[in-house]
Amino acid sequence: MKASWLVVMASLTAGATARAAIRLTSQTTLVISRTEPGPIELAARDLESDWQKVLGQPLRVVHQPQEAAATTLVIAFEHDVPRGVNRPTGWEKLHIQAIDHPWPGAAARQAVVLTGSDVRGTIYAIYQFSQQFLGVDPLYWWTDHEPARQAAIEVPEHFTETQGPAFHYRGFFINDEDLLTGWRPGIRDGADISLKTWNRIFEAILRLKGDMVIPGTWIFPYEPQIRLAMKRGLLITQHHVNVLGLDTYRWPNNVPYSFISHPKIFESALERSVEEYPKRAQIVWSVGYRGKNDFPFWMVDPAAPKSMAARAQVIQDAIGKEIEILRQHHPHAPIVFNAWAEAASFIRQGLLKVPPGVTLVWPDDGHGTLQDRGEIKAGEGEYYHTAMIDYRSNHFSELVPLERIREELGRAAKAGATEYLVVNTSNLRPVLMTSRATMELAWNPKPWIASRPDESRIYLDKWCREEFGRRAAPMVEKYYQAYFSAPAKYGPAADDSMGDQFYQVMSRWLLVAMVKGTLNRPLAAFGNRPQRTLGQMAASIEAQCQEARGRWERALRLAEQARPLVARGRRRFFQASVMTQVEINLHGNHMMEDVAAATQTPSSAEQQRLIRSAVREDLAVEAALHAADYGKWKGFYTRGDWLEDVPLTVSLERAYLRHLAGHATDLNTMIRAQDGGFAYQMITAYQGTQKVQF
């Protein structure tokens, strides 16, 4: 009798356990009203795609509660919110809730409801469900990471979760987008990058719970990617040069660009720019003043004053006028001041004041160190880089350590400077790990600012496990720790590290100088003291690269040890995000060492030996880039390599070898090596002859 009682109890317990979860299967329906806002409908389509990948069957979509199956998913913001579900209030909060009997009289007995406090909150609930329960990588399209197949999805009974962002505005700046433009040109769409690719960028931002984007470097307010971002539910913002959306790169050559000598022309262009945006666009407007092509205005304007105080006053006056123009059209729109470069210095010196109602956005230095010098405070924001074009940073590979992200953005979060965070990701694909980290911190900085445990280590472990598998993760973590410690140092600051650009750009500078015989010219760049010559700096570079050689070789060994441990389906992504990145840095470092050494010897024969070695190293860089261009990524690193331009460096090295052999100088290669505008001409070629209007 006792034994029978135990059997009955065990059976009842098993039944209770089975009912302790809502089981979603191929018979599950998705209920979403046809009248939900368009951005929610687009996110729902992404959920349908996720579902089919995981369950192997299409998700049956219905539009009325009466059509729902016994077990159903519900996306409900404006319509058909089940009883018992209390939508949260506030800014962009997501809410997921499992309930019984969602609608009186309907067949549905169990439901998982995805909703939010607003449109984007509801979108985040959809993507959170995909990530948390379907196992979909939020960057799946960029990491080529397909979710594992499952027979059913289980959501705990009475499950409920509400989340909201810590940083108010959060998003990406797709900047210096040469690789994306060359790989997937958008000329037929009237955009720099194809709209299909822009849509993948916007999807990634939303899956990472971002809410805004700067959709390109030099763009007009009426371009189609802006309208597509709006369609996806994103806000638009602007960078520090294109204030109020003014595409200063396309300023007519025959029209003065000067707020000092021709203010009315400048004001007229701003007025037109504001008017050219789509009427329903949600915009976080940027104000400020720099010269054309992103230089301090006094470098390109003969009318500029000489003193720093007077120059700061020009920026102050320009900002005042920009606010006046904007307020005539949008009295309550949010405004930020991206205090890039000299503007940050003026603010720290007290020469420049941020007007009331404007959010100060502190920049980093391009390498992840904020330039506030400890002055950041509540209500402010950040302009941060995980990729950077400054001729010394990273365009093809990761360079900003997770520890620096934790320290700098964590410091901002602790100060309450959480109003705005825009992350410059350049072409995104090369910096996926750190770009995702910044967005996770922006959504929830609490674990990142805790003294223990170290969230940067926890995040790295998670990234390695998710992307490469549990077996490989410990070795890949060791690799990353070695990788971020490997770069040669060109200066005393913590982030004075040589990125993949440094090798190419500096090598070309030195090669051109050797051809022209100008190695003894002083150069103030790359942390160099202005009294030092190029040749003296090259001697330092040779020693710095030589000192880093062993660190790069160790990083490569660790990557090679990790490679056979990587999950079979993740090996191509491992090639792109690990092997390619360590190889282009290792060979770039070796190439730079060879070119720098060539400047130090008077022997033509020794120079030839060193430059031939440099060519071999650069060809190895090219081979590593080609190895990352598999499948849909074919040509990503090679069709639009206009800013770093590895082939140009190879051409210049070969031209110098011919020069050493007594042949005439290759003028075409020499001119191209000194042309800083070629890349942006290519990126903006789709704009044809369009110019700023007045």
466-490 pLDDT tens trace: 999 999 999 999 999 999 999 999 9
Residues 6+ apart with CB under 8 A from 272: 692, 693, 694
Distance (Å, whole) CA 42 – CA 313: 46
662: number of Cβ within 10 Å: 7
Q: Which CATH superfamily is domain 19-163 in?
A: Chitobiase/beta-hexosaminidase domain 2-like (3.30.379.10)
Q: Which residues of the chain have pLDDT under 50?
A: 1-18
Domain ranges in the chain?
19-163, 169-246+306-451, 485-663
Work out the angle at residue 315's Cα, subtended by the Cα atoms of residues 313 and 321, and round it to the nearest 5 degrees. Answer: 105
The conformation of residue 671, written as its DSSP 8-state character, comes to H
Distance (Å, whole) CA 587 – CA 502: 12
Q: Please choose, from the candidates 157, 88, 94, the residue with its C-alpha nearest in 3D space to the C-alpha of residue 129.
A: 94
SS3 category, 105? coil
At 630, list the tokens. 């598999």
Q: Please choose, from the candidates 239, 240, 247, the residue with its C-alpha nearest in 3D space to the C-alpha of residue 274.
A: 247
Tally helices (H) and strands (E) across the chain: 23, 16
Q: Work out the burial of residue 638: count CB atoms within 10 Å of its CB; fewer than 13 is exposed, 13-18 middle, 19 or more buried.
A: middle
- The class (CATH top level) of 169-246+306-451 is alpha beta
Residue showing tokens 């763009």: 219
Q: What pTM was computed for the model?
A: 0.95
Q: Please choose, from the candidates 140, 118, 138, 119, the residue with its C-alpha nearest in 3D space to the C-alpha of residue 128.
A: 138
Q: What is the pLDDT of residue 530?
A: 65
In 198-264, the DSSP E strands lie at 212-214, 235-237
Residues 6+ apart with CB under 8 A from 520: 533, 534, 535
Q: Is the previous residue joined to 453 through a cis bond, with omega within 30 degrees of 0? A: yes
Distance (Å, whole) CA 301 – CA 311: 11
